């Protein structure tokens, strides 16, 4: 583990006597239309230690920030209290303002007057104004007690871990490596590329998916900074940003490398299994190759179905196949982690639009495999041994679900989000079907067409010109799929109330129904627990802020890439992956990280060495009792290791002598805030 | 003095930055109204407050306190268990003071918990409507027992 560098509470005598600047932002009317900002500012200027109290239309604007900086320089302001929009939006902006003006950036407190006052008390402006005064007074009370702080600076491993080897993980790994960082890429399956490898061709360029993917994989393979582990999963991690020690378990492949008589080894295998790569549309042996040209290329054993009969071993060159290989565990030290664990297609419930009830109902991912030249029908648009003449593609299955109409997932929530890619993916498949089966009748049964990206709308136009029939349903009345009469030419009927023809009920006879299923996150509960990241209500991994910090999680050093975070197409997945790589490299490329200084700090004058803090501390090696001697007396005092302390504060409430606090969030500051909110407030004479 | 609007009492919401405080922001972003006698303080970790802090807050002028912590979703190991332990200890002290235990509540509120946030606020409001603000000072007064 690298050695710790520094964490000290900064000392600056000039900052000891509080001279508080108070700033109330109108937020262009977002706050000012409800809260009388001038009244708030005028009232607060009468409080002790306040040397200046102002309101402004936009505190975050350049003139707003300059006003604060000028007050620091010219009026000796040494504590700043700002009432504005959410703390999560502009905390960093204002910290930098203080820094530029030469003041310690932690001598600032922020109150979210917009999200927590004006936007929630529209109808009660008088009370909202009074509440703002009290909240700002609390900030002033805290500011009086604030001490300058310095960030915790830690050495960091210049190495990143990327979890997931889909297009997002590959892109992230490559970007990181090209910035000179070492990268460990961990992929759960035995091949690289994720879902992109399963698609025939991809919008918006119509390129064949696998050759396109191969270009990226080749670049990754050529990068000496990247180490790849397939068949591998993260099973544990210790540490914190800059210094994660991650345990990885790798399932053996069973086959060392490619060999000439591979087909013979496959042929002698007595086991048949459903091929996951083809979404169950075909079978393979227990020794198989995922697809021609996959990386790694060698065959792999499916341990779930392999009986270890040894037939393949007999025909393969000696030592080539090892059925007794055991899983291996090893650790890597990394400074940051990219979660690129991707998505899984929505799995309809039994009977949902005929799913599993009728064999002629498949999903869009299965259609991709069906139309693939290397798929189960070698690309022929055939089903059940016959060419498909009529096909209906039903949109929004498992997406944009409505509570009460659709069946909820086990967590009780329906998938109310749009999966974004399925519309264009369905339209592009309609074009491909038209190419392969020029006479087929193609029906797109949709709720709304959301072909939102550059070039996506062209697919809609092309499909319309290509005699694709569009029928529009509404979510409250989803299409029904049922079996046609035995003698009917087409085995299924799709009943839909079509709102393009004024609600007419139409029954379409079809040979095949394709459910355009949405995206759900891959289940990564274990990783969420290991890295303490949280999901959103849609179960995808959650970013800190969807607009301002879109790829960072609430955990320092853990970032998101691609569809682990939400439905995205390849372009968006790669953009997010590159953003994640930038965040990681900015964080660790200097071989050190700076963390917020919010860690426990012991007051040696108050500490009696009771050891209660050590007993309750849940972190490893964050606090210990050390023996000191002074004037011949030996005594014990608690000592914090800032790098190992995460500021959980469990020690604060446990200390019988109030000798320990979390810097920046001290108990005495809260006591002062509570008193200030409860206290009477001096009136401003100018009040209306 | 600014004239204080007659209110049912003051409600203190201690909301974790990794949970309830963001939840409160989400409520704001949704422009959903709730009463203004609610004062939200951001906390890094809900485990820092000893029982005395809560009793003092009641004494100083708060009539109901809800700790909106992150529950099992807390990024801090041990935070939720320790907070629950402290709240239980505080209940013991509240019993000694004849304080209605419903005035102090621990609720897990996540970053996107808009509805649960509003429900918690409503619960505290309804409680104060039912039992009113606290007469002070606490210890001497012997507040009416309504301990659940
Ligand atoms: C039917 C369909 C058609 C589509 N067509 C197009 C198209 O034409 N054009 C387009 O731009 N987009 C298309 N998309 C979207 C595209 O597939 C995604 O944008 C892309 O695959 C996302 O890549 P990813 O790396 O985020 O996720 P994935 O492709 O899901 O890759 C994630 C990887 O992480 C691995 N993993 C999961 N969990 C773990 C773990 N715990 N440890 C290690 N590894 C793990 C998985 O095995 C997988 O390899 C389509 C999507 C669907 C459903």
Separation of CA A349 and ligand 1 centre (Å): 22
**B29 part of a folded domain:** yes
Joined tokens for residue B126 = 């309804």
What is the pLDDT at residue A535? 84
First-to-last alpha carbon distance for chain A, in angstroms, is 63
Residue A11 has pLDDT above 90, yes or no: no
**B148 part of a folded domain:** no
Nearest CA to CA, how far is B146 from chain A (Å)? Answer: 24
What is the pLDDT at residue A154? 86
- Could you give the CA distance from residue B6 to residue A130 in angstroms, rounded to a whole number? 12
**A549 part of a folded domain:** yes
Residue A22 has pLDDT above 90, yes or no: yes
CATH of the domain at A480: 3.50.50.60
Do A623 and A555 lie in one domain? The reply is no
**B4 part of a folded domain:** no
What is the pLDDT at residue A14? 52
pLDDT in tens, A621-659: 789 999 999 899 999 999 998 877 888 899 999 999 999
Do A237 and A276 lie in one domain? The reply is no
DSSP states along B17-67: TTTHHHHHHHHHHTT----S-EEEEEES-GGG--HHHHHHHHHHTEEEEEE
Burial A467-481 (b: 16+ CB within 10 A, else e): ebbbbbbeeeebbeb
- Average pLDDT on A121-142 reads 96
Do A650 and A573 lie in one domain? The reply is no
Which residue did the predictor score with more confidence, A231 or A12?
A231
Number of structural domains chain A divides into: 5
What is the pLDDT at residue A546? 76
Question: In the structure, what pLDDT confidence band is assigned to residue B144 with cuts at 50, 70 and 90?
Answer: very low
What is the pLDDT at residue B2? 42
Do A372 and A408 lie in one domain? The reply is yes
Choosing from A591, A622, A639, the residue where a domain stops is A591
Instruction: Determine which residue's CA is closest to atom 31 belonging to ligand 1.
Output: A166
Residue A282 has pLDDT above 50, yes or no: yes
Do A143 and A165 lie in one domain? The reply is no
- Pocket-testing residue among A175, A421, A428, ligand 1, by greatest number of atoms within 8 A of Cβ: A421
pTM of model > 0.80: no
What is the pLDDT at residue B146? 38
**B84 part of a folded domain:** yes
**Which atom of ligand 1 lies nearest, measured to the CA of A194?**
49
**B1 part of a folded domain:** no
pLDDT in tens, A403-412: 888 999 998 9
Separation of CA A453 and ligand 1 centre (Å): 18
**Which atom of ligand 1 lies nearest, measured to the CA of A195?**
29
Instruction: Determine which residue's CA is closest to atom 27 belonging to ligand 1.
Output: A342
Give residue B136's domain range. Answer: 10-142
pLDDT in tens, A256-279: 999 999 999 999 999 999 999 999
Q: Which backbone phi and psi does A649 adopt, to 5 degrees?
A: 80, 5
Is some CB atom of chain B closer than 8 A to the CB atom of A10?
Answer: no
Nearest CA to CA, how far is B147 from chain A (Å)? Answer: 25
Number of structural domains chain B divides into: 1
Nearest CA to CA, how far is A122 from chain B (Å)? Answer: 7
8 Å CB contact of A648 and B73: no
What is the pLDDT at residue B34? 97
The residues, ordered by sequence, that sit 6+ positions from A402 with a Cβ below 8 Å of its Cβ are A414, A416, A475, A476
Choosing from A477, A503, A520, the residue where a domain stops is A520
Do A354 and A437 lie in one domain? The reply is yes
- The DSSP secondary-structure symbol of A277 reads G
**Which atom of ligand 1 lies nearest, measured to the CA of A563?**
26
Q: Say if strands A226-230 and A182-187 run parallel, antiparallel, or are unpaired.
A: parallel
- Average pLDDT on A360-371 reads 98
**A154 part of a folded domain:** no
Spell out which residues line ligand 1, taking CB within 6 angstroms. A 163-169, 186-189, 194-196, 199, 202-203, 233, 340-343, 345, 364-365, 368, 421, 425, 428, 519, 522, 524, 527, 562-563, 568-571, 573
pLDDT in tens, A146-183: 999 999 888 999 999 999 999 999 999 999 999 999 99
Give residue A653's domain range. Answer: 600-663
- Could you give the CA distance from residue A469 to residue A482 in angstroms, rounded to a whole number? 20
What is the pLDDT at residue B140? 52
Is some CB atom of chain B closer than 8 A to the CB atom of A656?
Answer: no
- Average pLDDT on A101-116 reads 97
Choosing from A538, A563, A591, the residue where a domain stops is A591
Query: Which candidate in B13, B24, B25 is best for mutational testing of the A interface (most A CBs within 10 A)?
Result: B25
Separation of CA A562 and ligand 1 centre (Å): 8
Selecting from A138, A555, A653 the residue whose C-beta is nearest the C-beta of B82 gives A653
**Inter-residue contact A540 to A315 (CB < 8 Å):** no
pLDDT in tens, A115-128: 999 999 999 999 99
Selecting from A128, A664, A679 the residue whose C-beta is nearest the C-beta of B36 gives A128
Nearest CA to CA, how far is A533 from chain B (Å)? Answer: 8
Do A117 and A227 lie in one domain? The reply is no
CATH of the domain at B67: 3.40.50
pLDDT in tens, A399-448: 999 988 899 999 898 999 999 999 999 999 999 999 999 999 999 999 99
Do A12 and A103 lie in one domain? The reply is yes
- Could you give the CA distance from residue A430 to residue A421 in angstroms, rounded to a whole number? 14
- Average pLDDT on B75-99 reads 91
- Average pLDDT on B93-102 reads 96
- Could you give the CA distance from residue A134 to residue A130 in angstroms, rounded to a whole number? 6
Do A169 and A242 lie in one domain? The reply is yes
Q: Say if strands B104-108 and B62-69 run parallel, antiparallel, or are unpaired.
A: parallel
8 Å CB contact of A670 and B45: no
Separation of CA A158 and ligand 1 centre (Å): 27
CATH of the domain at A626: 3.30.70.20
Which residue did the predictor score with more confidence, A619 or B115?
B115
Is some CB atom of chain B closer than 8 A to the CB atom of A677?
Answer: yes
**A256 part of a folded domain:** no
Q: Say if strands A512-517 and A243-250 run parallel, antiparallel, or are unpaired.
A: unpaired
Longest dimension (CA), chain B: 45
Q: Residues of chain A with pLDDT > 70: what percent?
A: 97
Do A307 and A337 lie in one domain? The reply is no
Do A479 and A401 lie in one domain? The reply is yes
Q: Which backbone phi and psi does A110 adopt, to 5 degrees?
A: -120, 135
Residue A592, strand partner residues: A155
- Could you give the CA distance from residue B1 to residue A685 in angstroms, rounded to a whole number? 10
What is the pLDDT at residue A232? 98
What is the pLDDT at residue B77? 72
8 Å CB contact of A616 and B78: yes
- Could you give the CA distance from residue A128 to residue A113 in angstroms, rounded to a whole number? 9
**B43 part of a folded domain:** yes
**Inter-residue contact A515 to A353 (CB < 8 Å):** yes
Nearest CA to CA, how far is A604 from chain B (Å)? Answer: 19
Is some CB atom of chain B closer than 8 A to the CB atom of A665?
Answer: yes
Do A423 and A452 lie in one domain? The reply is yes
CATH of the domain at A132: 3.40.50
Burial A65-92 (b: 16+ CB within 10 A, else e): bebbbebbeeeebbbbbbbbbbbbbbbe
């Amino acid at each position: 583990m690298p050695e710790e560098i520094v964490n000290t509470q900064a000392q600056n005598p000039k900052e000891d006597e509080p001279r508080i600047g108070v700033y109330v932002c109108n937020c262009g009317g977002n706050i000012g239309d409800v809260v009388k900002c001038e009244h708030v500012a005028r009232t607060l200027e009468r409080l002790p230690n306040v040397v200046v109290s102002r309101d402004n239309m936009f505190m975050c604007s350049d003139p707003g920030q300059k006003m604060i900086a000028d007050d620091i320089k010219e009026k000796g302001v040494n504590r700043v209290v700002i009432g504005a929009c959410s703390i999560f939006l502009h905390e960093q902006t204002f910290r930098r303002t203080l820094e530029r003006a030469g003041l310690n950036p932690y001598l600032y407190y922020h109150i979210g007057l917009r999200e927590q006052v004006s936007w929630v008390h529209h109808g009660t402006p008088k009370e909202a104004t009074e509440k703002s005064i009290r909240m700002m007074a609390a900030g002033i009370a805290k500011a009086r007690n604030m001490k300058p702080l310095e960030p915790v600076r830690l050495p960091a491993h210049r190495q990143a871990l990327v979890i997931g080897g889909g297009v997002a993980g590959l892109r992230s790994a490559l970007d990181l490596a090209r910035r000179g960082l070492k990268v460990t890429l961990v992929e759960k399956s035995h091949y690289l590329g994720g879902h992109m490898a399963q698609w025939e061709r991809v919008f918006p360029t119509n390129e064949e998916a696998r050759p396109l993917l191969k270009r990226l994989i080749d670049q990754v393979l050529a990068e000496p900074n990247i180490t790849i582990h397939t068949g591998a999963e993260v099973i544990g991690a210790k540490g914190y940003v800059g210094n994660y020690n991650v345990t990885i378990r790798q399932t053996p492949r069973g086959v060392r490398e490619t060999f000439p008589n591979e087909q013979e080894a496959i042929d002698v295998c007595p086991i048949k299994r459903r091929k996951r790569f083809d979404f169950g549309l075909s079978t393979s042996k227990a020794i198989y190759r995922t697809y021609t040209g996959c990386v790694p290329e060698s065959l792999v054993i499916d341990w779930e179905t392999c009986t270890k009969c040894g037939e393949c071993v007999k025909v393969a060159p000696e030592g080539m196949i090892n059925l007794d290989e055991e899983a291996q565990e090893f650790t890597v030290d990394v400074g940051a982690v990219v979660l690129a664990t991707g998505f899984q297609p929505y799995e309809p419930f039994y009977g949902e639009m005929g799913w599993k009830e009728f064999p002629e109902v498949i999903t869009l991912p299965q259609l991709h495999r069906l139309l693939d030249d290397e798929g189960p029908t070698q690309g022929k648009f055939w089903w059940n041994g016959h060419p498909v003449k009529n096909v209906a593609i039903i949109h929004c299955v498992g997406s944009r679900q409505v509570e009460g109409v659709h069946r909820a997932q086990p967590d009780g929530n329906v998938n109310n989000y749009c999966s974004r890619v399925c519309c264009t993916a369905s339209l592009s498949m309609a074009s491909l079907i038209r190419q392969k089966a020029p006479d087929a009748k193609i029906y797109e049964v949709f709720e709304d067409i959301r072909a939102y990206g550059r070039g996506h709308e062209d697919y809609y136009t092309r499909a319309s010109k290509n005699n694709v029939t569009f029928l529009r349903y509404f979510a409250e009345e989803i299409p029904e799929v049922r079996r046609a009469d035995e003698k009917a030419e087409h085995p299924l009927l799709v009943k839909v109330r079509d709102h393009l023809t004024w609600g007419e009920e139409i029954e379409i006879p079809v040979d095949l129904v394709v459910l355009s299923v949405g995206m759900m996150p891959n289940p990564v509960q274990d990783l969420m627990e290991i890295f303490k990241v949280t999901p959103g209500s849609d179960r995808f991994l959650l970013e800190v802020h969807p607009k301002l910090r879109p790829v960072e999680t609430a955990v320092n050093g853990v970032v998101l890439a691609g569809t682990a975070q939400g439905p995205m197409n390849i372009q968006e997945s790669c953009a997010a992956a590159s953003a994640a790589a930038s965040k990681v490299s900015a964080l660790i490329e200097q071989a050190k990280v700076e963390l917020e200084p919010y860690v426990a700090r012991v007051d040696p004058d108050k500490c009696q060495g009771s050891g209660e803090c050590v007993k309750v501390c849940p972190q490893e090696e964050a606090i210990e009792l050390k023996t000191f001697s002074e004037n011949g007396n030996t005594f014990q005092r608690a000592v914090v290791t800032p790098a190992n302390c995460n500021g959980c504060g469990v020690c604060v409430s446990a200390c019988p002598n109030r000798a320990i606090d979390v810097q920046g969030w001290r108990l005495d500051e809260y006591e002062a805030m509570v008193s200030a909110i409860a206290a009477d407030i001096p009136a401003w004479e100018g009040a209306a | 003095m600014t004239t204080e609007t007659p209110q049912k009492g003051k409600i203190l919401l201690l909301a974790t930055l990794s949970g309830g405080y963001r939840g409160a922001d989400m409520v704001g972003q949704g422009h959903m109204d709730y009463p203004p006698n609610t004062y939200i303080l951001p906390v890094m970790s809900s485990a820092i407050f000893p029982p005395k802090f809560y009793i003092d807050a009641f004494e100083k002028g708060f009539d109901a306190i809800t700790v909106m912590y992150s529950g099992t979703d807390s990024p801090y190991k041990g935070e939720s268990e320790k907070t629950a332990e402290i709240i239980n200890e505080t209940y013991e002290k509240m019993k000694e003071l004849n304080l209605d235990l419903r005035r102090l509540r621990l609720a897990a509120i996540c970053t996107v918990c808009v509805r649960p946030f509003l429900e918690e606020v409503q619960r505290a409001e309804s409680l104060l409507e039912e039992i009113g603000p606290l007469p002070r000072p606490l210890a001497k007064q012997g507040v009416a027992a309504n301990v659940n």
